[in-house]
Chain A
Amino acid sequence: MSSPFQYAPAPESRSIVDIAPSYGLFIDGEFVDGTGEAFKTVNPATEEVLTEVSAGSAADVDRAVAAARRAFTRTWGPMRPADRGKYLFRIARLLQERAREFAVLESLDNGKPIRESRDVDIPLAAAHFFYHAGWADKLDFAGLGPNPRPLGVAGQVIPWNFPMLMLAWKVAPALATGNTVVLKPAETTPLTALLFAEICQQADLPPGVVNIVTGAGDTGRAVVEHGDVDKVAFTGSTEVGKSIARAVAGTRKSLTLELGGKAANIVFDDAPIDQAVEGIVQGIFFNQGHVCCAGSRLLVQENIHDEVIASLQRRIGTLRVGDPLDKNTDIGAINSAEQLARIRELSDYGEAEGANRWQPACDLPDRGYWFPPTVFTDVSPAHRIAREEVFGPVLSVLTFRTPDEAVAKANNSTYGLSAGIWTEKGSRILKIADQLRAGVVWANTFNKFDPTSPFGGYKQSGYGREGGRHGLTGYLKGATHS
Chain B
Amino acid sequence: MNDRLAVRKTYKLYVNGAFPRSESGRTYEVTDSRGHFLANAARASRKDARDAVVAARGAFGKWSGMTAYNRGQVLYRVAEVMEGRHTQFCAEVEAGEGLSGSKARAAVDAAIDRWVWYAGWTDKLGAVLGGSNPVAGPYFDFSIPEPTGVVAVLAPQQSSLLGLVSVLAPVLAAGNTAVVVTSKQRPLPAVTLGEVLATSDVPGGVVNLLTGDAEELGPWLAEHADVDGIDLTGAPAGRAMELEREAAGTVKRVVRPSATEPDWSADPGLSRITPFLETKTVWHPIGV
Contacts and interface: CB of A to CB of B under 8 A. Distances in A.
A145 interface: yes
B51 interface: no
B283 A442 contact: yes
Contacts of A238: 251
Interface stretch (B129-137, B177-185, B204-212): B129-137
Contacts of A445: 139, 283-285
A401 interface: no
Interface string B54-67: 00000000000000
* Contact size range, B: 35 or more
B143 interface: yes
Interface residues of A, number: 46
Interface in A243-297: 243, 245-246, 249-250, 257, 259
A479 to B, nearest CB: 9
A456 B279 contact: yes
Contacts, number: 119
A452 interface: yes
B284 A463 contact: no
B65 to A, nearest CB: 9
Contact of A443 (B240, B241, B283): B283
A434 to B, nearest CB: 8
Contacts of B73: none
Contact of A250 (B141, B145, B240): B240
Most A C-beta atoms less than 10 A away, residue of B240, B245, B278, B283: B283
Contact of B143 (A246, A249, A468): A468
Contact of A482 (B135, B240, B274): B274
Interface in A424-482: 429, 433, 437-445, 448, 450, 452-456, 458-463, 465, 468-470, 473, 478, 480-482
Contact of A459 (B135, B240, B247, B251): B251
A248 B155 CA distance: 23
B186 interface: no
Nearest to B287: A444
A186 interface: no
B271 A480 contact: yes
A143 interface: yes
Nearest to B241: A250
A444 B282 CA distance: 11
A448 B137 contact: yes
Contacts of B247: 245, 249
Contacts of A458: 148, 278, 280
B281 A439 contact: yes
Interface in B212-262: 228, 240-242, 244-245, 247-251, 253-254
B244 A250 contact: yes
A289 to B, nearest CB: 20
Contacts of B203: none
A259 B143 CA distance: 20
A242 interface: yes
A450 B141 contact: yes
A138 to B, nearest CB: 15
Given A439-B281, A460-B250, A450 B136 contact: yes
Contacts of B254: 249
A450 B284 contact: no
A439 B280 CA distance: 4
B133 A450 contact: yes
B228 A127 contact: no
Contacts of B270: 145, 480-481
Contact of A450 (B128, B137, B275, B280): B137
B11 to A, nearest CB: 34
A439 B279 contact: yes
A241 interface: yes
Contacts of A473: 274
A249 B228 CA distance: 17
B248 A481 contact: no
Contact of A249 (B133, B245, B251, B253): B245
B254 to A, nearest CB: 8
A453 B135 contact: yes
B282 A441 contact: yes
B269 interface: yes
A429 B135 contact: no
Interface string B83-101: 0000000000000000000
Contacts of B68: none
A143 B228 CA distance: 27
B251 A143 contact: no
A454 B134 CA distance: 11
B15 interface: no
A440 B248 contact: no
B163 to A, nearest CB: 20
A443 B143 CA distance: 14
Given A249-B245, A250-B240, A450-B141, A441 B281 contact: yes
B277 interface: yes
30 contacts: A143-B128, A145-B269, A241-B251, A249-B247, A250-B242, A250-B244, A250-B245, A429-B284, A433-B280, A433-B282, A437-B149, A439-B281, A443-B282, A448-B137, A450-B136, A452-B133, A452-B134, A453-B281, A454-B281, A458-B278, A458-B280, A459-B228, A460-B250, A460-B251, A463-B253, A473-B274, A480-B269, A481-B270, A481-B274, A482-B278
Given A444-B284, A458-B280, 14 more contacts: A238-B251, A242-B251, A246-B249, A249-B247, A429-B284, A438-B280, A440-B282, A440-B283, A443-B282, A453-B141, A454-B279, A458-B278, A460-B250, A468-B133
Interface of A: 127, 143, 145, 238, 241-243, 245-246, 249-250, 257, 259, 429, 433, 437-445, 448, 450, 452-456, 458-463, 465, 468-470, 473, 478, 480-482
Interface of B: 128-129, 131, 133-137, 139, 141, 143, 145, 148-149, 228, 240-242, 244-245, 247-251, 253-254, 269-271, 273-275, 277-285
| Those 4 A-B pairs whose CB atoms lie nearest each other, nearest first | A250-B241, A245-B248, A249-B244, A482-B274
